[in-house]
């Protein structure tokens, strides 16, 4: 049973040819795969070799001499290098043996297939020709038989009528004889031809065709044997479990097993054997208290009205710490016993050595942590004893004064501007008002300088005169007088109150030391007021609230935050002693910082990523504007991104860029106020006017966007989201670029926070693949925008999802031109879609091309 008996039919012959074609394709596929495998194996071998080289770059000094782990590691790296060499050898063998053998097999198999097809065709044609000759000879036989019958009938007719003589009879007799001759010759030829056909058919069916098929089967099976050997070579050279690989890993395993923790540091310990560390003595430097007249004593806590409260609080804190320490010790002891039992009694497949190692490690870890906790407990206990002893000596008496200086006779606390001749009571009142606890603290020894806490809070303190150490030449905002407390203003009405302006914007406003402003922020869902000051950097102070509901920093407290800031400004005192920051110049709101109450929201006209978009009206000018709002519930990070658009737009002025009017940050919700562009989004406009827009108008839209993008390019602004949906249509169908929420003012921008909100079908390949944005990425998006315009609002890569579109783009696919798109415009789109960014035109070049096309188009058709 085989080819010779089972594959003689036509369908079987065609199936055999198809099978041979499929086998040829399989060989081609195998060749490609082997080629890729060879490359991958070589890359892997190179990577392993690099790893081994890196791993062998260990300290060559004496620091690791005698280390068994280091020796084992070197052996591992060397065996990894050997493994890399084996993989490289196998890949070379694959290329020189298997790949070459597959190439030879492919060539030979094609030859054999061709020879088989030609021989089968020759035999079949010979059989067909003989069959056709039999049919033809039979038709010829029938023809001559008819002629014979006709001539015989005529001869008999004339012979009967005319007798035996005559010319006519002779002619008929000749024709009759010729017809008889032809019939007999054809008869003989037909008989011989049939004999030949019978024999050939028998040979064709039993010898020729079976022989050809049997020969072909033999060749096919020979190829299969060769093929099998090739596959065996591939398998052999791909086998990472072969003896050579096992030898490498066996050597690694032997070295690993030689590691014994007890021997690892034997040489190291012997080499660096030293005596135990000498104790370090910490003693009080008595020179620190030599000039204190015996009030501060070495190694003794001082208890007075400045320190008693701090000591009590410290005692409470330490007692809490020692209690927490004792709870940790108890928990650790219990967990250690439970862990030991679980390791010993638990059902596990872990080896005894591993269990012993874990148990030993667990015990050592517990001992170490317990020792640390005991040390901490001893340290805390000593401090508690010291504090308790000092407080016990005080008993129930009131703590003594830390300083016996009288306020009345200390000129350091009296301002030189005090009026002479005033009554003693008035003088005392003024001195008390001008009393600054921080100056008192600065006179004390460093050990006693603790934050001062005022026990009584004046309801409306008078601001002390400005000190002379302030920056008198500092530029002030309008009105050079000190900030006034008499004006009946609220904090929100002050020009230096900037509402919820983000910290990043604040940093840009505060440029010189002493510049300050007040803002609000939200921390842990709690609204807090912050004083931001430029002082050797940017410092931000959260306004503290007292139990009485007043406000303070480190000094006195006030009923309102406004009064606190005015006091801090007029007094010239540091906000905190640690920062030293002094308020010199209040920074007013910028002209584009609008008050939320100046904007009247009319009706909702859309929805953005951060909130709703409204048509609104300005109170002062009655101008109708567009307002983007930011949802109050958004995280602070999103609010910063929302204001990014306003920060970028405020410095741009171009007819094809939507104009910023202002930003409202005085309170929530934050709003961006922009000019109202009546035509709405370009995408909606194109789809509504699909039948009425002519090519000249479409070209003008492309020119408008090119002009706007040329302007942004000159400002090093990367838009990152250029699309028809983010452009607006104004009066006379002028196009304005909008939606700068993703924009960046950089020549190059690398995305590092993921690509979740990237418009895939509008984004250049290098931005999608590497997160790298330049203005040339906007050029790619501009090409998509032009396609949208000429397709009158069509969807790019229609019928493809984002993944499919991205795959097609990487493979070289580009969208065909929309119907009726000028050839020059489509060529420009294709230039914008060059895969390599350096091959794309910049917007200066794009604008020149589109302007030339538009002018030529307008002069021709308009």
Q: Is 672 within any annotated ligand binding site?
A: no
Which helix (H) or strand (E) segment is 515 a member of? strand 515-523
Name the pLDDT band for 466 (thresholds 50, 70, 90).
very low
Whole-angstrom distance, CA of residue 593 vs CA of residue 336: 63
Q: What is d(CA 529, CA 522) in angstroms, rounded to the nearest whole number?
A: 9
Q: What is the pLDDT of residues 690-735, one digit of tens each?
A: 888 999 999 999 999 999 999 999 989 998 899 999 999 999 999 9
CA dihedral 358, 364, 367, 370 (to 10 degrees): -70
Ligand-binding annotation for 341, yes or no, is no
Please state whether the predicted TM-score (pTM) of the whole model is above 0.75.
no
Tell me whether residue 144 is exposed, middle or buried, using C-beta atoms within 10 angstroms of its C-beta: 0 to 12, 13 to 18, 19 or more. buried
Tell whether 690 is in a known binding site: no
**Is 252 a known ligand-binding residue?**
no
673 is in an annotated binding site: no
Q: Please write the tens of the pLDDT for every residue from 361-387.
A: 667 677 778 888 888 888 888 888 888
Mean pLDDT of all residues in 54-76: 79
| Least confident interval from 40-44, 290-294, 333-337, 668-672 | 290-294
Q: Is 721 known to be catalytic?
A: yes
CB atoms within 10 A of CB 706: 26
pLDDT digits (tens, 9 = 90+) for 438-451: 333 333 333 333 33
pLDDT tens-place string over residues 187-230: 999 889 889 888 888 888 888 888 888 888 888 888 888 888 88
Asked if residue 566 belongs to a known ligand binding site, the reply is no
Q: Are 796 and 765 in contact, with CB atoms under 8 Å apart?
A: no
Phi, psi at residue 43, to the nearest 5°? -65, -40
Q: Are 592 and 606 in contact (CB under 8 A)?
A: no
What superfamily does domain 11-238 belong to in CATH? Arfaptin homology (AH) domain/BAR domain (1.20.1270.60)
Alpha helix ranges (H) inside 650-774: 682-688, 695-714, 765-770
**Residue 393 pLDDT > 60, yes or no?**
no
**Does 716 show up as a binding residue in the annotation?**
no
608 annotated binding-site participant: yes
**Would you tell me how many other CB atoms lie within 10 Å of the CB of residue 651?**
11
Give per-residue burial for 362-381: e unless 16+ CB within 10 Å, then b: beeebeeeeeebeebbeebe
C-alpha distance across the termini of the chain, in Å: 83
Q: Are strands 515-523 and 585-586 parallel, antiparallel or unpaired?
A: parallel
82: its two tokens: 């050997």
Residue 756, pLDDT > 90, answer no
**CATH code for 437-586?**
3.30.505.10
Q: pLDDT tens digits, residue range 342-359?
A: 555 554 444 566 656 666
- The three-point CA angle 782-787-791 to 5° equals 150
Per-residue pLDDT tens digits for 779-810: 999 999 999 999 999 999 999 999 999 999 99
In angstroms, rounded to a whole number, what is the distance separating the alpha carbons of residues 29 and 131? 43
Asked if residue 355 belongs to a known ligand binding site, the reply is no
Supply φ then ψ for residue 107, to 5 degrees: -65, -45
Confidence of residue 764 (pLDDT cuts 50, 70, 90): very high
Q: What values do phi and psi take at 546, rounded to 5?
A: -85, 170
Q: What is the pLDDT of residues 829-856, one digit of tens each?
A: 999 999 999 999 999 999 999 999 998 8
SS3 862: coil
Percent of the chain with pLDDT over 90: 32
140-154, 320-334, 468-482: range with lowest mean pLDDT: 468-482
Lowest mean pLDDT segment, chosen from 261-265, 424-428, 758-762:
424-428
Please tell me the predicted confidence (pLDDT) of residue 749.
59
C-beta neighbour count of 82 within 10 angstroms: 17
> Is pLDDT larger for residue 261 or for residue 579?
579
Local structure of 542: helix, strand or coil: strand
Which has the closest alpha carbon to 564: 444, 461, 703, 413? 461
Helix (H, G, I), strand (E, B), or coil: what is residue 136?
helix
Structure tokens at 771: 């997160």
Annotated catalytic residue, options 41, 704, 721, 739: 721
- Residue ranges per domain, the chain? 11-238, 299-394, 437-586, 593-675, 682-861
Among 1-15, 326-340, 475-489, 808-822, the least confident range: 475-489
**What integer best gives the mean pLDDT of the chain?**
80
Fold for domain 682-861?
A: Transferase(Phosphotransferase); domain 1 (1.10.510)
pLDDT at position 530 = 93
The vertex-630 CA angle with 626 and 634, nearest 5°, equals: 165
694 contacts 857 by C-beta, under 8 angstroms: no
How many CA atoms lie within 13 Å of 191's alpha carbon, on the beta-carbon side?
Answer: 6
Handedness of CA 681, 687, 692, 695 (dihedral sign): positive
Residue 610, annotated ligand binder? yes
pLDDT for the residue 295: 64
Does 593-675 match 11-238 at the fold level? no
> What is the C-alpha to C-alpha distance for residues 183 and 190, in angstroms, rounded to an integer?
10
Give the single-character DSSP code of 564: H
How many other CB atoms sit within 10 Å of the CB of residue 334? 10
What's the whole-number mean pLDDT along residues 148-172?
80
CATH number of 593-675: 3.30.200.20
């Amino acid at each position: 049973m085989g080819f010779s008996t089972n594959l003689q039919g036509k369908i079987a012959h065609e199936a055999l040819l198809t099978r041979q074609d499929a086998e040829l394709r399989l060989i081609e596929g195998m060749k490609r795969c082997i080629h890729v495998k060879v490359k991958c194996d070589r890359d892997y071998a190179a990577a392993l070799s690099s790893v081994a080289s890196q791993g062998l770059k260990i300290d060559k000094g004496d620091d690791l001499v005698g280390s068994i782990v280091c020796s084992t590691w070197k052996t591992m790296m060397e065996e990894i290098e050997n493994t890399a060499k084996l993989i490289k050898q196998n890949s070379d063998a694959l290329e020189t043996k298997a790949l070459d053998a597959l190439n030879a097999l492919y060539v030979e198999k094609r030859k054999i297939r061709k020879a088989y097809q030609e021989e089968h065709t020759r035999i079949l044609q010979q059989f067909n020709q003989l069959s056709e000759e039999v049919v033809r000879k039979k038709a010829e036989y029938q023809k001559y038989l008819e002629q014979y019958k006709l001539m015989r009938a005529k001869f008999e007719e004339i012979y009967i009528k005319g007798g035996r003589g005559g010319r006519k009879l002779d002619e008929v007799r000749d024709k009759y004889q010729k017809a008889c001759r032809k019939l007999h010759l054809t008869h003989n030829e037909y008989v011989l031809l049939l004999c030949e056909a019978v024999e050939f058919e028998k040979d064709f069916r039993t010898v020729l065709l079976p022989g050809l098929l049997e020969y072909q089967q033999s060749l096919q099976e020979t190829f299969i044997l060769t093929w099998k050997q090739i596959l065996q070579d591939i398998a052999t050279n791909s086998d990472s479990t072969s003896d050579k690989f096992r030898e490498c890993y066996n050597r690694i395993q032997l070295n690993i097993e030689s590691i014994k923790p007890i021997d690892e540091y034997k040489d190291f310990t012997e080499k660096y054997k030293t005596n135990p560390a000498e104790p370090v003595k910490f003693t009080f430097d008595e020179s620190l208290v030599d000039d204190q007249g015996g009030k501060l004593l070495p190694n003794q806590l001082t208890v007075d009205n400045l320190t008693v409260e701090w000591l009590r609080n410290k005692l409470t804190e330490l007692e809490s710490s020692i209690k927490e320490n004792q709870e940790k010790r108890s928990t650790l002891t219990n967990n250690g016993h439970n862990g030991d039992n679980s390791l010993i009694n638990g059902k596990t497949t872990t080896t005894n050595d591993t269990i012993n190692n874990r148990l030993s490690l667990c015990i050592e870890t517990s001992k170490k942590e317990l020792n640390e906790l005991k040390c901490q407990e001893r340290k805390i206990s000593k401090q508690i004893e010291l504090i308790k002893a000092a407080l016990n000596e005080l008993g129930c008496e009131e703590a003594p004064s830390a300083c016996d200086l009288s306020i009345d006779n200390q000129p350091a606390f009296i301002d030189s501007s005090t009026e002479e001749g005033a009554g003693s009571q008035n003088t005392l009142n003024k001195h008390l008002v001008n009393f600054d606890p921080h100056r008192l603290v600065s006179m004390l020894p460093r050990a006693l300088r603790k934050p001062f806490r005022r026990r009584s809070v004046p309801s409306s303190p008078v601001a002390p005169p400005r000190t002379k150490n302030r920056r008198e030449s500092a530029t002030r905002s309008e009105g050079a007088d000190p900030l006034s407390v008499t004006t009946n203003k609220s904090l929100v009405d002050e020009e230096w109150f900037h509402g919820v302006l983000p910290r990043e914007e604040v940093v840009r406003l505060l440029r010189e030391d002493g510049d300050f402003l007040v803002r609000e922020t939200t921390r842990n869902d709690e609204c807090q007021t912050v004083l931001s000051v430029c002082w050797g950097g940017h410092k931000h102070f959260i306004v503290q609230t007292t139990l009485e509901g007043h406000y303070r920093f480190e000094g006195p407290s006030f009923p309102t935050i406004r009064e606190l800031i005015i006091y801090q400004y007029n007094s010239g005192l540091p906000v905190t002693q640690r920062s030293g920051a002094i308020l010199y110049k209040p920074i007013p709101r910028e002209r584009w910082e609008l008050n939320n109450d100046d904007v009247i929201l009319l009706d909702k006209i859309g929805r953005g990523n951060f909130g709703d978009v409204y048509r609104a009206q300005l109170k002062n000018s009655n101008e109708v504007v567009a307002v983007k709002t930011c949802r109050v519930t958004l995280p602070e990070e999103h609010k910063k991104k929302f204001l990014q658009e306003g920060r970028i737009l405020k410095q741009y002025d171009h007819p094809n860029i939507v104009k910023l009017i202002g930003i409202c940050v005085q309170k929530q919700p934050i709003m961006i106020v922009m000019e109202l562009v009546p035509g709405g989004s370009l995408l909606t406009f194109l789809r509504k006017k699909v039948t009425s827009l002519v090519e000249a108008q479409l070209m003008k839209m492309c020119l408008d966007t090119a002009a706007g993008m040329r302007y942004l390019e000159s400002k090093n602004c990367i838009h990152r989201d250029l699309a028809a949906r983010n452009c607006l249509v104004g009066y006379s169908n002028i196009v304005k670029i909008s939606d700068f929420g993703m924009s960046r003012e950089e020549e190059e921008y690398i995305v590092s926070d993921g690509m979740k909100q990237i418009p895939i079908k509008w984004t250049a390949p290098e931005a999608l693949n590497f997160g790298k944005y330049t203005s040339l990425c906007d050029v790619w998006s501009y090409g998509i925008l032009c396609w949208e315009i000429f397709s009158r609002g069509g969807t790019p890569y229609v019928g493809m999802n984002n993944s499919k579109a991205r795959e097609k783009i990487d493979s070289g696919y580009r969208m065909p031109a929309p119907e009726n798109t000028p050839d020059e415009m489509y060529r420009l789109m294709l230039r914008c879609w060059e895969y390599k960014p350096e091959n794309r035109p910049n917007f200066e070049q794009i604008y020149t091309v589109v302007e030339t096309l538009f002018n030529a188009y307008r002069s021709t058709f308009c």
